[in-house]
A and B are shown apart, each in its own frame.
Chain A
């Protein structure tokens, strides 16, 4: 590891420590806000690990997340809680592998469309199964507090950053960047592009499912319509792209302002959230391609290249 690596590691550790202390110094309001933000940081960062380099826009987050909440919903009475997030991660990764095998051989449009409907399809199937078996929603009554949820998310976030850092230095990460540039070249350079894409797509699948499993106790009552709400997928895409996927820290830069804005809008004009989402997409495409990371890089280049 080089000097900058050590520096970045020190900064990250300090920030992580600071984030972990939030429940100690923050008010309950900020703890709630912080939990939401931590959730989006985890989701958006893991989303960007795959979708950033490959430019495949995944809208499957809600599907994986919903499955994670159901893992907890079904399992919390019979299994110790700490087993559930890893279990959800394994299931999420497996589902991601299946989805990837079917769609990732094809062009990006197919992938977007497939993932767009995935959450809705899983929701319909789960609802149907529940109707057949006579269950509706379920109660997740645990002794887990919001603080603990928050800490688990921070821990998961640390894992995601570590994974992202390792992937960025690995052959797999490099292969994905080549694929994102030119898939034909990638194949002729010797990269098994289908395998590489599927392998990396399993990461956001696993992370989103684990996140859902961790957050399930917060919702207390789980039903398919809320667990698989497709809005979540779009929020994650917006936040990741707004921050920029060119750097590991990019998505955080999108999550923080967008969560605050979202919170303000939902409080004051709850009917306008979709309009906000739409405008955010348009802003990203027309004004901020590359997100804040791209802007930051452009500014740095313009002003002499020193940071």
Chain B
């Protein structure tokens, strides 16, 4: 049995009257990919935002290897070992590709500076296939390359848990193949990942386990095959409850 790295317990988030996440619990084990899926607006990004410290849960606890994350500011969470990408890609437009990646290395979980940070960033750039575009200004990158830069930045701090919020969304079919292969290689390296995704192929081929959310609540958990054949999950996706 592998070790639990991240433990989410009874987490709830209210925005005014809206309950965006409702009493959700799950565990993420080391070296595994956990899929976080559900229809639009079901609270996936909100969950990611709470884990990464963008905002505090209204109630509940989130523990990373024994450290409580709930209520901690984002920079502390990042230093404790949570790295993330954003649903809408966020790069540092005035910085070079290299500096974008060093930004992740300099202040993250495992911190590097100077020549060491540069070497580390260059390794990642190479590894993610960005060497060819390294000299370009960030604004000139193709969509998938911006996503790669963001991923490299998140990886550069060597997080214990990596949160990918719809990292594959918006890629064309060829890019999607590349993207899936890339994430699989991360999994094979033994990284621990939470993957928010709508692309079913990616979920089937990448996830060890899945948590399904609908209207803020967890409605199923299990292997991809199990949850995707669960009648309640199908109902949630097809939306016959007018949600």
Contact = CB atoms under 8 A, between A and B. Distances in A.
Query: Do A's and B's CB atoms come within 8 Å in the complex?
Result: yes
Interface of A: 171, 174-175, 177-178, 180-182, 184-193
A174 B107 CA distance: 10
Given A174-B103, A178-B95, A181-B95, A187 B90 contact: no
A175 B103 CA distance: 8
Contacts of A182: 90-93
A190 B75 CA distance: 4
23 contacts: A171-B106, A171-B107, A174-B102, A177-B94, A177-B95, A178-B92, A178-B103, A181-B95, A182-B91, A182-B93, A184-B90, A185-B86, A185-B90, A186-B75, A187-B75, A188-B52, A188-B83, A189-B75, A189-B104, A189-B157, A190-B78, A192-B75, A192-B76
Given A177-B95, A190-B109, A185 B52 contact: no
Contacts of B52: 188
Given A181-B92, A181-B93, A188 B106 contact: no
Interface of B: 52-54, 73-76, 78-79, 83-84, 86, 90-95, 99, 102-104, 106-109, 111, 113, 153, 157
A189 B102 CA distance: 10
A191 B92 contact: no
Nearest to B52: A188
B90 A191 contact: no
Nearest to B84: A188
A181 B139 CA distance: 13
B75 to A, nearest CB: 5
A188 B94 contact: no
Interface of A is mostly: helix
Given A178-B95, A185-B90, A185-B92, A171 B113 contact: yes
A137 B99 CA distance: 52
B75 A174 contact: no
- List the 3 shortest-distance A-B pairs measured between CB atoms, nearest first: A190-B107, A190-B78, A181-B92
Contacts of B113: 171
Contacts of B54: 184, 188
A175 B113 CA distance: 12
B95 A191 contact: no
A193 B94 contact: no
A185 B75 contact: no
B90 A189 contact: no
Given A171-B113, A177-B94, A189 B73 contact: no
**Interface-centre pick from A174, A177, A193 (highest chain B CB count, 10 A):** A174
B85 to A, nearest CB: 9
B74 A187 contact: yes
B224 to A, nearest CB: 28
Nearest to B93: A181
